[in-house]
């Protein structure tokens, strides 16, 4: 296992433990991340706030690895995120949604570039339609 996977494993552990300091320390000061619901996030503080917003809305969040890859300075992690929405969820629009009590099971993929023991680029992927539908925030599409 190389440096990229070591850093991503440390990040995953920090996320599971909701360890804000360790999570922030996994990222370079000038890191740029991309999230499907927020777009570009610049800097470790912005990324840490992003994750903590989800943790406030879903304090029981868990992550299950389904695959881990590494090539050079890039780590790719696929997994399943499970959680229950028991707290308010801040939306990209700025509005806050009240807890739905719904359980989620969402597929995710993370691609991170690591330099000098820190993540310098992090692309996060998850299906927003799947996320909103499982929260009960979208009408089900009917077959026509």
Residue 140 lies in a domain: no
- Domain coverage including residue 71: 3-134
Q: Which helix (H) or strand (E) holds 13?
A: helix 3-17
Chain centre to alpha carbon of residue 56: 13
Are 112 and 75 in contact, with CB atoms under 8 Å apart?
A: yes
The count of domains in the chain is 1
Residue 45 C-beta-side C-alpha neighbours within 13 Å: 0
| C-alpha torsion 131→105→49→24, nearest 10 | -140
Q: pLDDT digit string (tens) for 69-123?
A: 999 999 999 999 999 999 998 877 788 889 999 999 999 999 999 999 999 999 9
Mean per-residue pLDDT of the chain: 91
Give whole-number Cα distances, 61 to 29, 39, 93, 113, 136, in Å.
26, 22, 23, 24, 18
Backbone angles phi, psi at 109, to 5 degrees: -145, 135
Residue 86 lies in a domain: yes
**Mean pLDDT of all residues in 32-46:** 94
The pLDDT of residue 144: 47
The pLDDT of residue 142: 46
The pLDDT of residue 139: 66
Q: pLDDT digit string (tens) for 96-111?
A: 889 999 999 999 999 9
Please determine, for residue 66, whether its predicted confidence score (pLDDT) is greater than 80. yes
Residue 43 lies in a domain: yes
Q: What is the pTM of this model?
A: 0.88
Residue 141 lies in a domain: no
């Amino acid at each position: 296992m190389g440096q990229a996977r070591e850093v991503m494993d440390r990040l995953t552990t920090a996320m599971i433990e909701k360890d804000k300091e360790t999570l922030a320390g996994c990222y370079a000061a000038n890191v740029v991340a991309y999230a499907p619901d927020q777009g570009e996030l610049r800097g470790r503080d912005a990324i840490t706030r992003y994750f903590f917003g989800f943790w406030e809305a879903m304090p029981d969040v868990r992550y299950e690895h389904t695959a881990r890859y590494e090539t050079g300075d890039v780590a790719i992690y696929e997994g399943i995120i499970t959680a229950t929405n028991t707290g308010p969820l801040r939306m990209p629009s700025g509005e806050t949604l009240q807890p739905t009590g719904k359980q989620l099971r969402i597929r995710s993929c993370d691609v991170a570039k690591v330099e000098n023991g820190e993540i310098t680029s992090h692309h996060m992927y998850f299906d927003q339609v799947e996320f909103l539908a499982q929260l009960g925030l979208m009408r089900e599409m009917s077959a026509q």
